[in-house]
């Protein structure tokens, strides 16, 4: 296997993912919470439930994280048998029926589930081609995989904020880029990667603008990357605090700090075999 670039190794390091990054739900919750201030507000779990309208039997949520989608599907579709799966035992917490497993080798029989979810997680997988084959393997012909990720243009204002704050701390114009999780599996790349296995792919784009009048949600989002702090090339905490100051300066000058978002959900149909 070809050696992974350094960024890829950071994002796919299973030991780091199951401990510092997702040992608990704290950092994931901080990233999720920023979307409370997005307009329009997208009900992602609701969209997923709607896409499961024709599914019967079992659904696997692979990389289920803190169980946000598991809980919603179980509430809205109690007729479905939802199997939560994640590589990190810690983040699974008390999610009933959760299984610790890797998407690259799922403990699920061929064609055993009517749908499989892989939501904002495929960028953490070392061998994406193998993972996509596994998603297809556990589905019957016509079964669906629901996948989500962000665009390569998503939240660029946060990247600019980080680099300028890091530059301030280092005494240069712009500091190094932070670790960007979605970069290994963007909304633009996803159809080609998924299309190697799935016969039909439909993309649901989810654009929006986050607008905050308090720096804390933005600071919490940036701070949620603490697991990679020693790999970012800057004093992490000092950069976070300088970012806070910059956000407050923008709020004072413009009334709000704004971030343009673009994520999306891809609904993929398993081919006839």
Contact (CB, 8 A) for 264 and 132: no
pLDDT per position as a tens digit, 135-181: 999 999 999 999 999 999 999 999 999 999 999 999 999 999 988 88
Distance between CA atoms of residues 70 and 53, nearest Å: 15
Closest residue by Cα to residue 234 from 159, 155, 171:
171
Question: Given a cut of 90, is residue 93 above it in pLDDT?
Answer: no
Task: Using the CB atoms, write b or e for 187-211: b if 16+ within 10 Å.
Answer: bebbeebbeebbeebeebebebebe
User: How confident is the model at residue 58, as a pLDDT?
Assistant: 98
Which region, left, alpha or beta, applies to residue 57 given φ > 0 means left and ψ of -120 to 50 means alpha? left
Asked if residue 229 belongs to a domain, the reply is yes
Number of structural domains, the chain?
A: 1
| Position 156 in a domain | yes
Choose the most confident range, by mean pLDDT, from 20-29, 108-117, 171-180: 108-117
How many CB atoms within 10 Å of residue 93? 12
Residue 117: inside a domain: yes
Q: How many CA within 13 A on the CB side of residue 219?
A: 16
Owning domain of residue 243: 6-269
Confidence check: pLDDT of 21 > 70 = no
State how far the Cα of 211 lies from the Cα of 229, in Å rounded to an integer: 26
Tell me, what's the pLDDT at 1?
A: 36
Task: Establish if 198 belongs to a structural domain.
Answer: yes
pLDDT value of residue 50: 98
Within 10 A of 56 (CB to CB), how many other CB atoms are there?
Answer: 12
- Rg from Cα positions in the chain: 19
Minimum mean pLDDT range among 5-9, 119-123, 127-131:
5-9
Question: Which residues, listed in sequence order, are joined to residue 119 by a DSSP beta bridge?
Answer: 148
pLDDT tens digits for 198-252? 999 999 999 999 999 999 999 999 998 888 888 888 999 999 999 999 999 999 9
Residue 38 lies in a domain: yes
Percent of the chain beyond pLDDT 70? 96
**Domain for residue 1, yes or no?**
no
Q: The CATH number of the domain where 168 resides is what? A: 3.40.50.150
């Amino acid at each position: 296997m070809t050696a992974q670039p350094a960024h890829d190794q950071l994002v796919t390091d299973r030991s780091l993912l199951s401990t510092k990054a997702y040992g608990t739900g704290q950092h994931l919750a901080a990233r999720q919470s920023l979307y409370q201030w997005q307009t329009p507000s997208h009900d992602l779990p609701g969209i997923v439930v709607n896409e499961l309208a024709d599914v019967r039997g079992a659904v696997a949520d692979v990389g289920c994280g803190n169980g946000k989608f598991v809980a919603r599907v179980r509430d809205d579709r109690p007729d479905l048998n939802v199997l939560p799966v994640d590589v990190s035992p810690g983040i699974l917490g008390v999610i009933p029926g959760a299984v610790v497993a890797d998407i690259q080798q799922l403990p699920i029989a061929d064609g055993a589930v009517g749908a499989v979810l892989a939501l904002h997680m495929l960028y953490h997988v070392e061998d994406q081609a193998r993972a996509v084959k596994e998603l297809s393997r556990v589905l019957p012909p016509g079964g669906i995989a629901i996948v989500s990720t962000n665009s390569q243009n998503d939240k660029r204002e946060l990247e600019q904020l980080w680099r300028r704050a890091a530059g301030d701390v280092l005494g240069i114009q712009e500091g190094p880029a932070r670790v960007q999780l979605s970069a290994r599996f963007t909304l633009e790349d996803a159809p080609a990667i998924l299309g190697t296995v799935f016969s039909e792919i439909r993309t649901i784009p989810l654009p929006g603008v986050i607008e905050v009048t308090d720096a804390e949600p933005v600071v919490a989002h940036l701070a949620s990357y603490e697991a990679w702090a020693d790999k970012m090339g800057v004093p992490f905490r000092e950069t976070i605090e300088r970012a806070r100051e910059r956000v407050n300066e923008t709020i004072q000058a413009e009334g709000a700090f704004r971030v343009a978002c673009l994520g999306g959900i891809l609904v993929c149909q398993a081919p006839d075999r």
